Amino acid sequence: MTIRPILVAGDPRLNTPTTQITEFDDDLAQLVEDLFDTNTAANGAGLAANQVGDSRSVFVYDCPDDTGRHHRGHVINPVLETSGPPLTAHEGCLSVPGERFPTSRAAWARVTGVDLHGAEVKVEGTGFSARCLQHETDHLAGRLYLSRLLEPHAAEAALMLERSGWTEPGISWLPGDGPDPFHS
């Protein structure tokens, strides 16, 4: 079990698009396992590789659907499709620990990609699970959810980043080391 430090907003690796994966090897399998371990330790709904400083295009998810049933898996080289009216709800992010802001997302999402063996994967969801798929795919495109905020929430988020000192690279937190920033 390896829990990796999670980068915090302000680190340029979070704003850099990831690279497509072409090698399906033991190193990739270890990364996916570490992402699951880190996400579980952080009580997260999902975690993208660049959130732990890895530039490969893969994320894990462990989030409920509209019925409360959990879905858990990983997607490599995801391609996102969305439809439906935008729904606004408070959204959080492991790279913005302890904060939540109203964010609009499409009501339905589907991600296609591959798994660790190169087999095709399709994951779709509505509500919270759609939000999770969109959020994690955004990460891999180098986009934090904060960039989706509308006023006055965008200004509130900018002030929060400044107050927190999250404007420089290299800041991270380690899940399990100290209080849970989302449930304290």
- Binding positions for Fe cation: 93, 135, 139
- Asked if 33 is an active-site residue, the reply is no
Calculate the alpha carbon distances from 110 to 104, 113, 136, 140, 175 in Å. Answer: 17, 10, 12, 15, 29
Q: Which residue numbers belong to the known binding site?
A: 93, 135, 139
Tokens found for residue 61: 């998810």
H/E stretch holding 110 reads strand 96-114
181, with CB counted inside 10 A (0-12, 13-18, 19+), is middle
Q: Pick the catalytic residue from 33, 99, 136, 156.
A: 136
Q: Which residues of 102-131 are buried (b: 16+ CB within 10 A; e: fewer)?
A: ebebbebbbbebbebeeeebebebebbbbb
Runs of H (alpha helix) within the chain: 26-41, 127-140, 153-164
DSSP label of 150: P
Residue positions annotated with a catalytic role: 136
